[in-house]
Amino acid sequence: MNDDGGAGEPKVSSTVDFDANGKHFGHLSIPHSRNDSGWGAVHLPIVSIRNGDGPVLVFTGGNHGDEYEGPIALMKLVRALDPAEVTGQIIAIPALNFPAIMAGTRLSPIDGVNMNRAFPGRRDGSVSQMIAHFVQHRILPRCDAVCDIHSGGKSMYFSPFGAYHNLPNKAVMEKSRAATLAFGAPIGLELVELDAGGMLDTAVEEMDKIFVSTELGGGGTASPRTVAIADAGVRNLLAHFGLVDGKPITRESLGLAPTRMMHMPDPGSFTICDDRGIFESLVDLDQAVSEGDPIGQIHFPERPQREPVVYRASASGTVIGLTHKVLMEPGDFLSLVARDM
């Protein structure tokens, strides 16, 4: 773990006292001196709803600034919740990368940092690194579990899934799997990351705490269906962890198909582009593919006479993620294929 910026008190301060009972809307203040505000700061909204001792659950949305189901569901949740109906504490950060949310960009417009590669952060780093450092050292140590709500953003879209990772600590992995099931998305995925370094996920898991992630849609949009999945998911987690009375509302009780548990047993689950050109997708989300089936093809606008390069599935399964870009470069994500467990 690269934590050479971790020593000392965070430079970030909070207007919320996380030990106080009741519902508190406040903000983190992240120093940000700039041309138009010499002694300025970024005010990042944060909410604590606490009623005595009990489980502590952290919800984050807007880790990437072009993913909207999380911010929408969390703002609705914290407005609606009455502390009297809670046992324990909910800490909600609807827009973890607040500058990115306000700009509608995946990465922070201030420092160009991907918040989900910034952990464990730096005390004396850039704005995003200071946010990560505060969360790492002041929020995560307090909590039992974290739910970080993602969607595909402007460049990807997904068949909505909740996700956990295959962890060396099998007891924590089993709890994360159970929480993913309780969230109740149409798919529950045992996710293998392309690059787990610097992720909030990894920071939480290295503390042997429960972590649930999601990918609920994408394309830089939020639909009634995907927001409803987020709304139900956060409520279900409150019940699952005993923060509110009652049990999670199962998909079956709503007449829906049970959560489809999937995994990525093949290294070839991701298809990555190696050409520059226009991508024509030949599959849709939720389509079954066999190894070798065409996923899509790249056309070359500078050479119309050239045959397109066909990209094929290197694993069999179901397409649950696709690029939302068309103009491709080498290294771009094209598709994600997962398989039923």
Q: Which residues bind Zn ion (CB under 5 A)?
A: 64, 67, 150
CB 66 to Zn ion: min, Å: 8
Q: Measured from the CB atom, is 67 or 201 closer to Zn ion?
A: 67
Which region holds residue 312: left if phi is over 0, alpha if psi is between -120 and 50, else beta? beta
The two structure tokens encoding residue 55: 């489980």
Q: Closest separation between CB of residue 203 and Zn ion, Å?
A: 15
Cβ proximity to Zn ion, 136 vs 151, nearer residue: 151
48 or 176: CB nearest Zn ion: 176
Q: Provide the minimum distance between the beta carbon of 200 and Zn ion in the complex, in angstroms, as a whole number.
A: 10
Give the closest residue to 98 by CA, choosing from 71, 125, 58.
71
* Residue matched to tokens 């000392």: 8
Long-range contacts formed by 276-283: CB under 8 A, 24+ apart: 276/328, 276/329, 276/330, 277/301, 277/308, 277/309, 277/327, 277/328, 278/326, 278/327, 278/328, 279/323, 279/325, 279/326, 279/327, 279/328, 279/334, 280/308, 281/322, 281/323, 283/319, 283/322, 283/335
Measuring CA to CA, which residue among 213, 95, 219, 90 is closest to residue 149? 213
**Of 120 and 218, which has the nearer Cβ to Zn ion?**
218
Q: How far lies 25's CA from each of 30, 44, 46, 99, 299, in Å?
A: 17, 11, 6, 18, 51
Least separation in angstroms between residue 225's CB and Zn ion is 18
- How far is it, in rounded angstroms, from Cα 154 to Cα 339? 25
Beta carbon nearer to Zn ion, 87 or 223: 223
Q: Which is nearer to Zn ion, 192 or 313 (CB)?
A: 192
Contact 161, 145 (CB under 8 A): no
Task: Kindly state the smallest distance separating residue 321's Cβ from Zn ion, in Å.
Answer: 12
Helix (H, G, I), strand (E, B) or coil at 151: coil
Minimum CB–partner distance for residue 88 and Zn ion (Å): 27
Q: Smaller CB distance to Zn ion: residue 67 or 190?
A: 67
What amino acid is encoded at 29 in this protein?
S
Nearest distance from C-beta of residue 63 to Zn ion, angstroms: 6
